[in-house]
Chain A
């Protein structure tokens, strides 16, 4: 099983600042990496697939990068609605998720 490790566990950011979230795979997942946003009581929402392609309707302030084992999700200027938990997900070899990064208001 491919283990996905996200860091940090919690990220405290002020509105308008940049947030950088990391995700590391225990072995290469090529570019088969997605990012999801989840708010309390809601289902996850797909933000990024293929490591760097924004899903339909996702604002341009969300960007993804990386390949192989190291990936990054960047939120260029945090809006109030962006405070949530973010999960990475590899779909290269079965399907596993990271444990999540909570982005909270500083």
Chain B
């Protein structure tokens, strides 16, 4: 059974960098069949896809995001990470990591982690 777990600071100051890591267990992140995603959800609102990475390192990002985004992968640790720079209060949300594929959409999700942007 594949499991994903997000980790990182729950509080970030405005204009600083939000950094989160997703640890994958029960399967290899290097399988090549999947891509690895970050998705967020502000309180009481819907889901917003942030971006994805393949184990090759190829990335795609949501062009509508205001804060610059970087997603990276560390196959040796079975982890992938998210960095969102110059954050504002609008980036306050629950952040989820999820496994995706062209066939199965997002089939496994982490439990989510709340990140609050506040001074």
Contact = CB atoms under 8 A, between A and B. Distances in A.
A binds B: yes
A43 B112 contact: yes
A87 B49 CA distance: 13
A1 B64 contact: yes
Contacts of A32: 102, 105
Nearest to A53: B104
Contacts of A45: 109
A95 B49 contact: yes
A1 B61 CA distance: 13
Contacts of A91: 100, 102, 105
Nearest to B6: A43
Main secondary structure of the interface of A (DSSP, over half): loop
Given A96-B49, A97-B48, A98-B46, A55 B106 contact: no
Contact of B46 (A46, A49, A55, A87): A87
B118 interface: no
A34 B47 contact: no
A96 B7 CA distance: 24
Nearest to A95: B49
A33 B115 CA distance: 29
Given A1-B64, A96-B49, A49 B112 contact: no
B106 A50 contact: no
Contact of B105 (A34, A94, A98): A34
Given A94-B49, A95-B37, 11 more contacts: A36-B106, A43-B96, A43-B98, A44-B106, A49-B103, A55-B104, A89-B47, A91-B100, A95-B49, A97-B46, A98-B46
18 contacts: A32-B102, A34-B106, A43-B109, A43-B110, A43-B112, A44-B96, A44-B109, A46-B106, A46-B107, A49-B104, A89-B47, A89-B105, A89-B106, A94-B49, A95-B37, A95-B49, A97-B48, A97-B49
